[in-house]
Amino acid sequence: MDVHGAGRGPEAPWKSMSAEELENQYSPSRWVVRLGAEEALRTHSQIGIEATRRARATGRSLLHVPYGDAKGETLDIYLPPEAPEALPIFVFVHGGYWQCGSKDESAFMVEPLTAQGVAVVTVAYDIAPRGNLDRMVDQVVRSTAFVQKRYPCNEGIYLCGHSAGAQLAAMMLLTDWTKLGVMPNLKGFFLVSGVYDLEPILCTSQNAPLHLTLEDAQRNSPQLLTALTQPADPTCQVLVIVGQHDSPEFQRQSREFYQVLPAPSLRPETLRRGGWKASFEELRNVDHFEIIENLTQKDDVLTQIILKTIFREF
């Protein structure tokens, strides 16, 4: 299959790149300047493991809670010291190119958020080769529905995904929740350093364990589909976020995804039929991994963006 000649048309910038350049653009660790590529990946995992260990040791947590029947369909719930029935819930979907990572090394943000009264949920899903992308999307859908059913009086569910997790979280913009018999109280999306058009992945080594076809990639590309959707709640915010030191392709993907989100109408009589309340942020002086690692810090820029969004302080 000639993937360079298929899909979105010849205008897509990645289609003029060589195989070597595409591999480079879609290998985030190669763009880290503070560490070598392997050390960056190792450090990211270590920071996540340590943050998760602290969260489990020092806070109130419910671990490995099943949201489905399969072995890997579990999530961790971290509760604030004072946890009323009605509280905001931050749901995190980890990255790892759909083939590595886990909820057991993803609790970066637990301490800063729970200290401010926000519950945090980290979601497990079946990474490749055990799971395929359609299954992963379905698992994130069902985990989100589970959170709503378990905490029906929540003050808002805020979905956050990093890298591959941002693609999975963005697919929730397209979900027909009526099929699950529940409408999650979605108030915000934080889509961090994501991939929203999966077609370029077909041309890289990242696809080896995924076995994506062109049809798979198009079916799971929010970039191609989200412009057709409308929010159930016009106050729901979508924040598309990327690091200054992400690769140019990751930066392009984030900007173009933000641009396809239909904007709400400014006319009061049509506001409820408007589009997504979206914004774009490029965070200075962070790479693909720091942007999430720094969520362990209460004064981090992204931590503060998350808290201000949840508590509507803008």
Annotated catalytic residue 197: no
Cβ atoms of residues 147 and 123 within 8 Å = no
The residues, any chain, with a CB within 8 Å of residue 137's CB and separated by 6 or more, are: 168, 171, 220
Cβ atoms of residues 90 and 295 within 8 Å = no
Out of 163, 193, 221, 247, pick the active-site residue.
163
- The neighbour count for residue 261, using CB atoms within 10 Å, is 23
Residue 157 DSSP SS3: strand
Gap between the Cα atoms of 288 and 290, Å rounded: 6
Token look-up 């990645």 returns 14
Annotated catalytic residue 288: yes
Annotated catalytic residue 163: yes
Gap between the Cα atoms of 88 and 148, Å rounded: 11
Residues in a beta bridge with 120: 78, 90
Helices (H), the chain: 19-25, 37-58, 110-114, 133-150, 164-170, 214-219, 222-225, 248-260, 290-293, 301-310
Out of 76, 104, 138, 246, pick the active-site residue.
246
For residue 161, the number of C-alpha atoms closer than 13 Å in the C-beta half-sphere is: 31
Which residues carry out catalysis? 163, 246, 288
